[in-house]
Amino acid sequence: MPTPLKPTKMLELSGSFITHADRKRAREGEPVPNKPIGGPPKRLTKDEKALWRDLVKTVPAGVLGDCDKYAVETFCVLFCRFRACTIKSMEMTTLNSLFTRLGLTPADRARVKASAAQQKEDDPWDALIVKQPAFA
């Protein structure tokens, strides 16, 4: 089974595109999330919602978007089953896969280097700030 592709945002945060410009060119035209992931769905339990919020805080800013909500929802449901010791073998395989795909294993986390500037959320008010020219 081939190794799954690493998310473009994680490659960007790790600096991979700086050393391997061809990787960035290969991903040109790739769809990007429309907006941030947002809050947990109402259908989740109290524990699953708490896990969702914790996960969104844990993953580096900008990695998860609205199109990732189904993977995160699945992760939250399965991880709560794991905590309750009611998870089945196939579900555990899926949970392990989601850990890797969401960058939650030590090996995946070690590859992501997000600076404070990259973690700052875009502020729509920034567009209104008039930048003054610098004087020497």
Per-residue pLDDT of the chain (136 residues; tens, 9 = 90+): 567 677 777 788 888 888 888 888 887 777 777 889 999 999 999 999 999 999 999 887 778 889 899 999 999 999 999 999 999 999 999 999 898 888 787 777 665 544 344 445 555 656 666 555 555 4
Answer whether residue 29 is part of any domain. yes
Cβ-contact 128, 82 below 8 angstroms: no
- The pLDDT value recorded for residue 2 is 65
The amino acid sitting at 107 is A
Residue 14 resides in a domain: yes
* DSSP 8-state secondary structure symbol assigned to residue 42: T
Q: What are phi and psi of 123, to 5 degrees?
A: -110, 120
Whether residue 119 contacts residue 12, with contact meaning beta carbons closer than 8 Å, is answered with no
Number of domains within the chain: 1
Tell me if 3 is assigned to some domain. no
How far is residue 49's CA from residue 53's CA, in Å, rounded to a whole number? Answer: 6
DSSP state for residue 36 in the 8-state scheme: B
92 falls within a domain: yes
User: Which residue's structure tokens are 């729509």?
Assistant: 124
Question: Residue 24 belongs to what domain range?
Answer: 8-114
Residues 6+ apart with CB under 8 A from 101: 4, 7, 71
The answer to the question of residue 103 being in a domain is yes
Could you identify the residue written with the tokens 């309750």? Answer: 84
* Domain contains 126: no
Q: What is the pLDDT of residue 15?
A: 84
pTM of structure: 0.65
Compute the distance between CA of residue 60 and CA of residue 109 in angstroms, rounded to an integer. Answer: 9
Q: How far apart are CA 119 and CA 57, in angstroms?
A: 11
With respect to residue 41, please indicate whether it lies within any of the assigned structural domains: yes
Query: In this predicted structure, what is the pLDDT of residue 91?
Result: 95
Rounded distance between C-alpha atoms, residue 128 and residue 136, angstroms: 25
pLDDT score recorded for residue 118: 43
Position 55 in a domain: yes
